Every structure is written in structure tokens, then in C-alpha cells.
Amino acid sequence: MIDHLWPEIWDTALYIYNNPELGGEEYQAAAYLRKIMEKHGFEVISPYLDIETSFKARIGATKPVIFFLAEYDALPEIGHGCGHHLIAGASAGAAISLAALKEYWSGSLVVLGTPAEETTGAKVALVDKGAFSDCDAALMFHPGQSTVINISSQALEALEVIFSGFHGHSSRGERGNSLVSLVSFYQEALNYKKAFYPEQQIDGVITSGGITPNLIPQKAVGKFYLRAITTELLKKTVQDFRKMIERIAEQNSTQVIIKRFEPRYLPMQTNAALAQVFQEQAKTLGVKMDMQQQYIIGSMDMGNVSWLVPAIHPYLPLGKGKFSAHSQEFKKMAGSPEGEKTMKLATKALALTALELLLKPELVEKIWQEKAGSGFTL
Ligand SMILES: [Zn+2]
């Protein structure tokens, strides 16, 4: 069935690839996906839960309810350098292929459009707004460098730091200079990263540091991503971060405000039983998945989904897996026949995994038996 529908499935991915849209602005991608889902008998709500470029496409009214998650945002300047068009194509493709076989299974399929993975991570809002309340399993894939499935990602806190102080002529000296405070902190953050990488990380940019050399800016602003491999460690990173900033502000007679500017990401917790189903299905397609647990240096909004429902986020290699994501080379590969090959494999493995769950209720029970994460507070 997938082979039969393939031209339409690949066209969907290519359309998104050729019309890259930034997170939160994926109007064309969402509209195109809506059209294809409706054509194949899905009922579509769009926008979904007040998230403008999100949508929910559903077929069936009974349990179990299997979710395929579709990302479709691009990067500034690079376009689809993370290959999210392949994610959208594989998720939509798996769902419409199974819909064509509806008489052979019972349950429901949902394709959930999850915008802005690279920035504000709509999955976080979708989790908070109850989008997963009837979800039995959440499936997606990501193109990458290797064939891994049992992954865990880093927790992420996004904090903006606003130092303020004396506003006037630069000849006055350095006390009360907001930019000096920010630069001192930036230097300390680099040392912190050096000492604790990769378990804990602080990365930042200066977003506002003045206009002209002879005027001390009233404000100096930086944005920082704090990451850690567990929520407990992230809590410590945030505490260390605050302490460093408050000490520097005080030493330098400046004031400081710290505020979150993007949602917090939880670390990905792969559901091992669900991963095993995917692994077995991938094997029937000739792909050996590495089941070893792997820490991904980086964060994903799928982490928040994984704390709520059984979820997987396997990686399948793009081409020979030589290029790292967010690069021009990766983008080129993701739009080539190699990208098509990877997506076709992912579409089949996702469809077969969902079909297993739809046909075997005991598998759904098994994946839910795995203990989900405990609550998370900072
Ligand atoms: Zn990505």
C-alpha cells in the first residue's frame, strides 16, 4: 500500500521541503497536510487548540488511539537542514497507508501537526492543553546519522538575562555597566560548560549590548540555553546559573532580571517495549536498530510527550549518515533520492509498528505497564 501511495507521500515531503517555513509560520505545510489527510478520509481540525499552524487529523472512533507526530518547521537561512519535511511525510504517509487498509484493523489513527520544534516547541503546549489525553502511543522518526532508538535527550531551560545599570557616557568607569556584567557572566558560563560538559551545559548569545561605544547601555541582554541530562541536574544548573549572575550583578553594582523565554523541555524517555516493536518491524525491512541506550546531546519537545504517554523517537540515517543536522549538506541530502529512501523506510516501519499495536491489544497494555517518569518541578 505504501508503494502504491508513494508518489503522493513523497510529493508531500517535497512540497514542504521546497517551501520552508519557520516555526509558528508553517501555514503552507499545515494546509497541504490538511488537504492530503482529508482526501484520505481523515477528519481534520485546524488550527488545533488555538495553535495556529497545528492540526489534528483523525480516523476511527475507538481505542487504541495511535498518534503519528508530524514536525514541519525549517531553520532560518538553512531551510530544511533538520529534515523535518521527512518527519511530516513519514507520519502522514504511514497514516494514510493504514487508512487504506481500515477494514483489517480496529482503533483510531491520529496525525498531530506539531509546529515549531526548533523554537517554541508546540508539543509542550499540546501536552499542557490535553492533546494527548486519549493517546495510547506516540510515534515519529527523525533523520540523523545513525540507527538508534533507545534514546534519551537533555532537559532544557531557556532563560533571558537582563542586566541594567548606569546609562551615560563611557568615560565614567566600569561600575554599574550592564554590558560588563553580561560579558563577565558570559565568560563564567563558558568556563562552567568546559567543566561540566556534556552532563551540564550553558550556551548563550548576547541579544542587546548597546549602540555606540561612548554610551554605556542602560540594559545588556543575553539569551541562554541551560541543558542537563536529568531534570535533577537541570535544577542544579539553574541554581548555579542564578548564583553566578546574582554575584556578578552585585559585585558590579548592576541589577538583573532573569526570565524564561521559551518552554522547558523534559528529557526524552524512550518506552523500551514500544521501541522493541519498532525494532522488530524495522528488522523485517532489513534494518538493524541499535538498542543500546544513547544520550543525545541536545533537547527535543518530544521529551515532554514521553513523560505522559509511551513514545519513541528513533533515528534513521540519512544517506551514509555522514552529515550532522542543521547543515547545508544535511539539507541537500534530505531533498535527494537518499532522503526519499530514508523516509520510505521510516514510513514503512512506523506503519508496521502502528499496525502491530492496532492488531494486538496486549502490546498496548505492555507499553503502558512501563513506568512513566515522576513529576517534574524546578
Ligand atoms: Zn529536528
CATH number at residue 198: 3.30.70.360
Residues 15 and 145 in one domain: yes
Is residue 374 one of the residues assigned to a domain?
no
Residues 274 and 357 in one domain: yes
Could you tell me the distance, in angstroms and rounded to a whole number, from the CA of residue 144 to the centre of ligand 1? 9
Grid coordinates in use for 179? 554590558
Residues 230 and 83 in one domain: no
* Ligand 1 ion: Cβ-proximal residues, 5 Å cutoff: 82
Residues 197 and 110 in one domain: no
Residues 32 and 121 in one domain: yes
Is residue 376 one of the residues assigned to a domain?
no
Residue 372 is predicted with a pLDDT of: 52
Could you tell me the distance, in angstroms and rounded to a whole number, from the CA of residue 143 to the centre of ligand 1? 8
Residues 297 and 334 in one domain: yes
Residue 112 is predicted with a pLDDT of: 98
Overall average pLDDT of the 121-144 stretch: 96
Residues 27 and 146 in one domain: yes
Whole-number average pLDDT of the chain: 94
Could you tell me the distance, in angstroms and rounded to a whole number, from the CA of residue 118 to the centre of ligand 1? 7
Could you tell me the distance, in angstroms and rounded to a whole number, from the CA of residue 251 to the centre of ligand 1? 41
Residues 147 and 162 in one domain: no
Residue 237: give the domain boundaries.
155-265
Residues 219 and 176 in one domain: yes
- For the stretch 21-57, pLDDT in tens is 999 999 999 999 999 999 999 999 999 999 999 999 9
**Domain CATH number, residue 22:** 3.40.630.10
Residues 318 and 352 in one domain: yes
298 pLDDT band, cuts 50/70/90, is confident
* CA triple 191-192-198, angle to 5 deg: 115
Grid coordinates in use for 210? 548597546
Counting every residue, how long is the chain? 378
Separation CA 315–CA 330 (nearest Å): 14
Residues 9 and 132 in one domain: yes
Could you tell me the distance, in angstroms and rounded to a whole number, from the CA of residue 249 to the centre of ligand 1? 36
Separation CA 90–CA 346 (nearest Å): 6
Could you tell me the distance, in angstroms and rounded to a whole number, from the CA of residue 173 to the centre of ligand 1? 45
- For the stretch 239-267, pLDDT in tens is 999 999 999 999 999 999 999 999 999 99
Could you tell me the distance, in angstroms and rounded to a whole number, from the CA of residue 82 to the centre of ligand 1? 5
Is residue 377 one of the residues assigned to a domain?
no
Residues 147 and 273 in one domain: yes
- Angstrom CA distances, 114 to 32, 67, 71, 126, stand at 14, 11, 5, 8
Of the candidates 141, 144, 134, 80, which has an alpha carbon nearest to the alpha carbon of residue 108? Answer: 134
- Domain boundary, last residue among 265, 290, 307: 265
